[in-house]
Structure 1
Amino acid sequence: MSTVTARPAEPEGPVPGDGDGEGAGDAEALARRREQRGWYVYDWAVSVFSTSVLTVFLGPYLTEVAKAAADADGYVHPLGLPVRAGSFFAYAVSASVLLSVAVMPLAGALADRTGRKKPVLAVSAYVGAGATSAMFFLDGERYLLGGVLLVVANVALAVSMVVYNAFLPQIAEPAERDEVSSRGWAFGYASGALVLVANLGLFLGHDALGVSESMAVRICLASAGVWWAVFALVPLLRLRERPYARRGDGVGGGYGRVSFGDGWRQLAGTVRELRRYPLTLLFLLAYLLYNDGIQTVITQASVFGSEELGLDQTTLIGAVLLVQVLAVAGALLMGRLARSYGARRVILGSLVAWTVTVAAGFALPAGEPVWFYALAAAIGLVLGGSQALSRSLFAQLVPAGKEAEFFSLYEVSDRGTSWLGPLLFGLAYQLTGEYRVAILSLVVFFALGFALLWRVPVRRAAAAVGNADPGRI
């Protein structure tokens, strides 16, 4: 494994006050703030896909398209395999997760090895945006087209987020990262809420607008791709490349040619290298567990609300909107708390809040939307902050020059293991027939994640990878 030494990027264009002393420092700080503002906009661009496409519209719509194409027994036959029409969307999501696990580490290794993150971000962003926009053509019995577009868009999203997250330790000083990461999440949730309101207006008022319900859904899906494509331009224009000078690998200036074989070899080296940083590995394991609990709550809350509490679709969509809006405030609030108490302590506190919230779900009365909204409000307040601070905390534990590679492992722990929570949720329901027991079973993820994160000494973990003392953490 070659040693990586950071080489400062050259400023783009003339910098006011260039030279020694405060002028140069002020100019660099201004340039960094400009990059940070551009970085926030990618969350603004891409979160609409997660909210409007994956969470609200695509699942029910693609299922109806698959049912229209099904045979008399209710099966469709992608690639000749018999699949229940009602399961097609879930299988497509699973396929995208498995493919993401294979592609993300390679993309991260290539981005770091070449020192050129922006081309990887650009290609993945526009492949994803193009696939999402093409969902406009998903009608009739074109379920297979919908499945392919979903897989392509979700894999592209995963790759782009690896590179996007890898910019964080480069554009923010250690003391800034909690706040910068929290603002990025806040931008994303604000964007998701804004576009979802517009989408729901179109969907609920489609008759008055003279369009069919199917057309309204297809416009909502395609608009997410257009939104993604337009706003992705901002970070691509504002973010700066920071190549790394590598010693002993034949890549002189950080922009050498790289083959796919080189990428896989470097990935294998990254996995081996991670074992040299047991504290970083311990954090990843903690994140794997508690984030799996978070993802399962998000994906199964609507099932719990409809099947166990008997709530209608309007109530469930309203709850999603409430989560989006309050997640903005929650991310910003927890970012401020991290400045006073440190990110690790605030994440630990959020895991306590998650445990209480999930336990409260066990006692929710059926047919009472107000209590479900209260649960959604609690989720929203801790959702954005716990995810944002986890990202910034991990950024403190990544060796310089390995950001994309290590963040690919971080994303794998998010997407690649998200079957654990749903599996436990499903087994609990299968054994008891009670969704209340199933939702309560998720407490184990927050408890184990808390226990592992408690054992991570962040300053020592940062020092072990060669990073400066992050201060209050």
Structure 2
Amino acid sequence: MDKGTAQTSTKSDQRVIKGWIFYDWANSVYNLVISSAIFPVFYANVTESHYLKTVGRNELLPDENVMVDFFGITLSNSVLFSYVLAASFLVVSILSPLLSGIADVTGSKKRFLQFFCYLGALSSISLFWFNPANIEWGMLSIFLASIGFWNSLVFYNAYLPEIAEPKYHDNISARGFSMGYFGSMILLVICLSIIMFIDPAYTKYSFILVGLWWMGFAQVTFRRLPYNIHKRDVKTGYIFKGVQELKSVFKEFRQTKRLQRYLLSFFFFNTGVQTVMLMAVVFAKKEIDWGAAGGDTGLIIAILLIQILGAGGAYLMSFISSLIGNLKTLIFVVMGWMTLCIWAYWLESPTEFYFLAAGIGIVMGGVQALSRSTYSKFLPTTEDTTSYFSFYDVAEKIGIVLGLFFFGLMEYLTGDLRASVLSIVAFFAVGLVLLIFVPRKESEKGRKVLSASRLRKLAEKENAD
């Protein structure tokens, strides 16, 4: 057992809740600096420079794509980026259910959280040595960093229903995302200051700072979150028992009509959300002339604007949901996403992108915080929160794989990145329709569902007798 927080920690312990929130502060720097802002720009620049050297020119031709050689396959740099990310999400979607079952049956989700945190942080640091001449190694770092970040979240999110009552989930989730937005903005400003006022060649040091920030501030979370809160002790056969645990939870899940329908709608609208967030910088870099707006710095400032308004959006949507309910709020937010994607198709100037970024920031913070807290509130009473959140995680990651593959495929088939953005509207539309039909209350059968932990304890008692 960790020395930080005793196993007997109870719900609504503010020290524990603040420790949980702090992981958003720690890990969100990856999502901003690596996924959204600095690395995509760095990646686009270094691959373009390497490509121009290869073809013996100083600049790209009109509408020419930057091509890279990846294990003997020639494809555009943006398609490679989207496919590598898609592959990482596919791995996460396979690993998380199995590992979550093991985590629940052994009470070891904190250990898994720590492992994937360190994997992601160290892989981020390794991007310092990214070299387009050996792009396979560089994309491996991106691949592992993505696995570390996203797999850590399934174990992190699973703590929410264990540390707080459902009525507090919206507020706590919003506080977490807001802390993440503010923390990542601070590091982004530090990185931008180094790039702008010292030397652009120091861009690579941003990746080291991300890893150190992530690992360092995560120690607050690791010290305060309880370890093995349900006091489970399984030393042998835990893989088999983990699989059995997951099967039991899945049987429960199938009886919860509202939870099932919500997760299906989440699969589609979140596919759109995550695809837009992951590819926004690639789109803006290729399709908009940033020369008059300060070049790459102007683009990164637009991403910073998204973060600032994302923090406010999380609190705003949490407040609105307290007035009209989570589902109605999510419906309006998804409609907002659809409108913004359609608008993006006709964007031409940096000024227009700044307005788009403001809109994305508000709906981004709202949809992320509410999606997590809504799922948490819809869970039946259970000790197996990690297994339940693995279904949420799989829906999220498979959706991202589908979205990124579809995004890359549309660009490959049409040669038009704008067509890729417009096509994402379809995911939002399907998610919106499904969201409208999510029941406002759980079915009687769903409310009476027994948790896997209660079934297991009953079986253990019968065997003992």
TM-score by length of 2: 0.82
User: What letter matches 1:233 in structure 2?
Assistant: Q
Equivalence for 1:348: 331
> Could you tell me which residue of structure 2 aligns to residue 414 of structure 1?
396
Match of 1:383 among 328, 353, 364: 364
Residue number among 426, 431, 450 corresponding to 1:449 in the alignment = 431
Instruction: Indicate whether 1:34 and 2:18 are aligned.
Output: no
Residues in 1 aligned to 2:331 and 2:183: alpha-carbon distance in whole angstroms: 27
Helix, strand or coil at the partner of 2:442: helix
> Could you tell me how far apart the structure 1 residues matched to 2:121 and 2:405 are?
31
SS in 1 for 2:24: helix
Q: Distance in 2 between matches of 1:233 and 1:302?
A: 31
Q: Does 1:255 align with 2:255?
A: no
Distance 2:256 2:317 in 1: 28
Does residue 1:57 correspond to 2:35, yes or no?
A: no
User: Letter of the aligned partner of 2:331 in structure 1?
Assistant: L
Quick check: 146-155 or 162-171, which moved more? Answer: 146-155
Equivalent position of 1:327 in the other structure: 310
CA-to-aligned-CA distance 1:213-261 (integer Å, 9 cap, x gap):
44x12210011000001111111111123544xxxxxxxx522125333
Please give the per-residue CA displacement for 1:332-373, whole angstroms capped at 9, x wherever unaligned. 111122222221221112112222222333444x23x22211
% identical equivalent positions: 31
- 4+ residue stretches of structure 1 with deviation over 6 A? 69-74, 430-433
1:221 is aligned to 2:200: no
Q: Deviations over 1:268-298 (max 9, x none)?
A: 4444443232332211110010011112222
- The secondary structure found in structure 1 opposite 2:378 is coil
Q: Deviations over 1:138-185 (max 9, x none)?
A: 458453332232222221212210010000011111110011111111
Runs of 5+ consecutive residues of structure 1 not aligned to the other structure: 1-8, 13-27, 208-212, 245-252, 468-473
* Match in the other structure for 2:174: 182
Residue number in structure 2 paired with 1:24: none
After superposition, the Cα gap between the structure-2 partners of 1:95 and 1:83, relative to the gap in structure 1 and judged at 3 Å, is: farther
Distance, in Å, in 2 between the alignment partners of 1:69 and 1:375 is: 31
1:108-159: CA deviation from partner (whole Å, max 9, x where unpaired): 1111111232112122212222222233344584533322322222212122
Higher mean C-alpha displacement, 282-291 vs 433-442:
433-442
Q: Over residues 76-106 of structure 1, what are the superposed CA-to-partner deviations in whole Å (9 max), with x where a residue is unaligned?
A: 454xx54548354444323312221221112
Q: Distance in 1 between matches of 2:81 and 2:297?
A: 22
8 Å Cα contact 2:173-2:373 kept in structure 1? yes
- Distance in 1 between the 2:279 and 2:100 partners? 30
Distance in structure 2 (CA, Å) of the matches to 1:191 and 1:94: 26
Deviation (angstroms), 1:56: 2.4
Q: CA deviation at 1:33?
A: 1.5
SS of 1:310's equivalent in the other structure is coil
* TM superposition shift of 1:197: 1.2
Mapping 1:146-157, distance limit 5 Å? 146-157=138-149
Instruction: State the distance in 1 between where 2:38 and 2:315 align.
Output: 28
2:156 corresponds, among 130, 149, 164, to 164
Over the aligned positions, Cα root-mean-square deviation in angstroms equals 3.0
Of the three residues 418, 438, 463, the one matched with 2:447 is: 463
Distance in 2 between residues matched to 1:140 and 1:429, nearest whole Å: 22
Unaligned runs of 5+ in 2: 1-5, 56-66, 452-465
Count, aligned residues: 425
| CA–CA distance in structure 2, aligned partners of residues 310 and 188 of structure 1 | 30
**Structure 1 residue 316: deviation in Å?**
2.1
Hey, what's the Cα distance between the residues in 1 that align with 2:409 and 2:111? 43
Closer/same/farther in 2, CA of residues 383 and 359 from structure 1, 3 Å limit: same
- Identify the match of residue 128 of structure 1 among 120, 130, 133: 120
The yes-or-no answer on 1:283 pairing with 2:283 is no
How has the CA–CA distance of structure 1 residues 260 and 304 changed in structure 2, closer, same or farther, with 3 Å as cutoff? Answer: same
Q: Which residue of 1 aligns with 2:97?
A: 105
Q: Please report how far the alpha carbon of residue 317 of structure 1 lies from its aligned counterpart in structure 2 after TM superposition.
A: 1.4
- Which residue number corresponds to residue 316 of structure 1? 299
Over 3 Å counting, the alpha-carbon distance change for 1:223 and 1:96 in structure 2 is same
Letter in 1 for 2:212: V
* CA distance in 1: counterparts of 2:197 and 2:269, whole angstroms: 39
| 2:196 pairs with one of 189, 197, 204 | 204
Name the SS of the counterpart of 1:396 in structure 2. helix
Question: Which region of structure 1 is more displaced relative to structure 2, 97-106 or 298-307?
Answer: 298-307
Equivalents in 2 of 1:419, 1:128: separation in Å? 19
**Counterpart selection for 2:221 from 235, 238, 241:** 235
8 A contact 1:66–1:88 mirrored in 2: no
- Measure, in 2, the Cα distance between the counterparts of 1:202 and 1:42: 25
When structure 1 is superposed on structure 2, of 124-133 and 174-183 the one drifting more is 124-133
| Residues 171/148 of structure 1: CA separation in 2 closer, same or farther (3 Å cut) | same
Residue identity matched to 2:447:
A
Are 2:87 and 2:401, in contact at CA under 8 Å, matched by a contact in 1? no
Tell whether the 8 Å contact from 2:123 to 2:144 is kept in structure 1 after alignment. yes
Q: Equivalent residue of 1:417, what SS?
A: helix
